[in-house]
Structure 1
Amino acid sequence: MAADRPDDVVRLGHRPLIVSDIDEVVLEFLTPFKLFLESRQHRLLPSSFRLTGNIVDLENGEAASEATVRALLDAFYDAQEQWQTPATLVVNTLAELSAEADIVFLTAMPPRHAAKRRALLDALGLPYPLLASEEPKGPLVKHLHGDRELPIVFIDDILRNLHSVRDHAPSCLLINLMANAEFRALAPVPDASIHAVTDWAEAARLVRFHFGLPTAQN
Structure 2
Amino acid sequence: MARGTGDILDVSHVVVSDRPLVVCDVDDVVLHFAAPFQEFLLAQGHEFLPRSFNLMGNIVASDTRLEVDIAGVYRLIGAFFEAQESWQLPIEEVVQTLEALSADADVVFLTAMPPLYSQQRRRLLDRLGLAFPLIASEEPKGPMMRRLNAERIFPTTFIDDMAHNLHSVRTHMPDSLLIHMMPDSALHLMAPKPQDDIVRARDWRHAEELIRAHWLPR
Judge conservation of contact 1:157–1:176 (CA < 8 Å) in 2. yes
For 1:137 and 1:51, the matched residues in 2 are separated by 21
Structure-to-structure mapping, 1:117-136, within 5 angstroms = 117-136=121-140
Runs of 4+ off more than 6 Å: none
Instruction: Specify which of 51, 60, 82 is matched with residue 86 of structure 2.
Output: 82
The yes-or-no answer on 1:50 pairing with 2:49 is no
Gaps of 5+ in 2: 1-6
Report if aligned partners of 1:179, 1:199 keep a CA contact under 8 Å in 2: no
Q: Is the 2:30–2:91 Cα contact (8 Å) retained in structure 1?
A: yes
TM-score by length of structure 1 reads 0.92
1:31 aligns with 2:49: no
Q: Hey, what does 1:5 align to over in structure 2?
A: 10
User: Are the counterparts in 1 of residues 161 and 182 from structure 2 also a CA contact under 8 Å?
Assistant: yes
Residues 4-56 of structure 1, C-alpha deviations (whole Å, 9 max, x = no match) = 4221x211111000011000100000110011000000011212222112211
Is the contact made by 1:31 and 1:180 (CA closer than 8 Å) also made in structure 2?
A: no
Give the conservation status (yes or no) of the 8 Å contact 1:4–1:111.
no
Letter in 1 for 2:102: S
Q: Over the residues paired in the alignment, what is the CA RMSD in angstroms?
A: 1.7
CA distance in 1, matches of 2:201, 2:61: 33
Deviation per CA, 1:35-78: give whole Å up to 9, x if none.
10000000112122221122111121022211111100000000
Q: In the alignment, which residue of structure 1 is the partner of 2:143?
A: 139
Mapped to 1, the partners of 2:194 and 2:134 lie a distance apart of: 26
Q: Which residues of structure 1 form unaligned runs of 5+?
A: 214-218
Aligned length: 212
- C-alpha distance in structure 1 between counterparts of 2:139 and 2:175, whole Å: 21
Structure 2 partner of 1:211: 215
What percent identity do the matched residue pairs reach? 47
Distance 1:144 1:103, change over 3 A: same
> 2:118 corresponds to which residue?
114
The CA deviation at 1:3 is 6.8
Displacement of 1:193 in angstroms is 2.5
